[in-house]
Chains A and B, each alone.
Chain A
Amino acid sequence: MGKTSSTSNVINIKTGLAEMLKGGVIMDVVTADQAKVAEEAGAVAVMALERVPSDIRKAGGVARMSPPELIEEIMKVSSIPVMAKCRIGHFAEAQLLQQIGVDYIDESEVLTPADEEFHINKQDFKVPFVCGAKNLGEALRRIGEGAALMRTKGEPGTGNIVEAVRHMRQINAQIKWVSNMDESELMTAARDLGAPFELLKIVREEGKLPVPNFAAGGIATPADAALCMQLGAESVFVGSGIFKSDNPEKFAKAIVKAAAHFDDPAIVLEASKELEGVAMRGTEISEIDEPMRMANRGW
């Protein structure tokens, strides 16, 4: 069978870690204590932050990378992977995060963008990146720059799932459209989507993104997680939804349960009864002025 390393085709080590995070929940945490609660509840990874997105909205001003000491403290108490966010285009923040040794960097629209034109060239880094996208073109641009994992943008900090659903459905619909396309139509599609042609070719052949796709932005309940997973998300990021709820421990456990058994309504119902508290309040998207919408950051 000629299996030598020179001929074998292996998934790169950055996307390899994303494969290990499938079927799980990645939780935003702002203290070491919260990181312990998340791990105890069964999170597959934590996102180390200074403030969760809903508090970033409230605080206003410029949201930057979290202080290194905070990230290191969370890394110290966590045995699961630790992710951290840098601003869009802020490759120096990303260099710091790589230097700290985080397991994944989220080049995130939740923080105030540092560059309105260019995203980070993620190929330059050894540490893997996750990025958000609203549609197929945006996802493939980020993958072209080296992102090893994608997620929907959703509308972070709102507890409102509508934008994540929109982005998930949009990407799915565009993948189906491309999959059914004649090869001769592909270059025009690449132009219209603003997507790298070679990556679009892979999407057409395989009927899916070349890296895993998770959901993020507005997930606040076990049913939200089940919805996203049934729409094709392979894991979920939960930001404000856990530690802004009445009972973070119960919410964390329940959302983990729902993500593992997303296709079994009986178990998702069971999880929903175990919350012992109400979800974060939530925000109607139309109440947020257009310039304040995080999903519009980046391109």
Chain B
Amino acid sequence: MSKKDATIGVLALQGAVELHRPHIEACGADFKAVKTQKQFEDIDAFILPGGESTTMLRLIRNFGLWDALAENFKTKPVWGICAGSILMAEKVTNPAQDSFGILPFTVERNGYGRQLESHHSDINGYKVSFIRAPIITDIGKDVEILAEHEGSPVWVQKGNKIASTFHPELTEDYPSPMHRHFIDLVRSGLSCRFPSLIYT
């Protein structure tokens, strides 16, 4: 098979990494699990996967990856899922913790409650999972809301940054519309010679 036109890197420090592979490959793009600065250079876009945001934060700090990620996030498309969306937020509550602040929203960790409150739901006709999911409690006016659930935004976008508080990757119906949407966005950026002019 010839080289794919886009390589999607899933940050693989911890969490649900492999489940993205079939979704990404069904879009005709390359999947790559990344956990070092050198690997970050070889990818066109990031998925920050679901998992435990506190664990990911510790590992990012302990491995001195913060600056490298922040630098990459300035230009490359990023999609944060659940824990990943918490890392992208401007502000995190319950409890407060560090975040990259690359999307202007406030997010409350475990907003629905504990595991007993985890549930499935339909988002744009696709069945997804909310697992100890966060809730976006406040959002910048310039952020586009792609989907809502129980009155809160759950899938949002600004420029080439996307966050979803739910998991489409746990659904084995490939690719999810959310993966399709993200990879289309990545491709539209790659076909443009000056993506930073559009997305900043």
Contacts and interface: CB of A to CB of B under 8 A. Distances in A.
B35 A261 contact: yes
Interface string A107-146: 0000000000000000000111000000000000000000
Contact of A79 (B14, B94, B115, B172): B94
Interface residues of A, number: 42
A22 B16 contact: yes
B78 interface: no
Contacts of B54: 39, 42, 79-80
B59 interface: yes
Contact of B116 (A79, A101, A261): A101
Interface stretch (B124-132, B141-149, B151-159, B190-198): B124-132
A202 interface: no
Interface in A70-124: 75, 79-81, 98, 101-104
A41 B172 CA distance: 33
Contact of A13 (B35, B122, B129): B129
B171 A256 contact: no
A101 B114 contact: yes
Contacts of A40: 58
Do most interface residues of chain B lie in helix, strand or loop, or is the interface mixed?
Answer: loop
B64 to A, nearest CB: 12
A16 B129 contact: yes
Given A19-B170, A23-B17, A42-B54, A257 B114 contact: no
Given A5-B127, A16-B167, A44-B52, A126 B116 contact: yes
B70 interface: no
A62 interface: no
A10 interface: yes
A127 B167 contact: no
Interface in A1-40: 1, 3-5, 7-11, 13, 16-17, 19-24, 39-40
B109 A79 contact: yes
A256 B55 contact: yes
A9 B177 CA distance: 15
The range of chain B's interface size is 35 or more
A79 B13 contact: no
A257 B62 contact: yes
B135 interface: no
Nearest to B118: A13
Do most interface residues of chain A lie in helix, strand or loop, or is the interface mixed?
Answer: loop
Contact of B55 (A80, A101, A261): A80
A3 B15 contact: no
Given A23-B13, A43-B55, A10 B120 contact: yes
Nearest to B110: A79
Contacts of A250: none
Contacts of A104: 115
Contact of A103 (B13, B19, B115): B115
B5 interface: no
Interface string B145-186: 000000000000000000000010011110001000000000
A4 B127 CA distance: 7
**9 shortest interchain CB distances as A-B pairs:** A42-B58, A103-B115, A5-B127, A23-B14, A11-B170, A8-B173, A8-B127, A10-B171, A9-B172
Given A13-B118, A103-B132, A253-B58, 11 more contacts: A3-B126, A7-B173, A11-B170, A13-B119, A20-B52, A23-B15, A24-B55, A39-B54, A126-B116, A128-B115, A260-B59
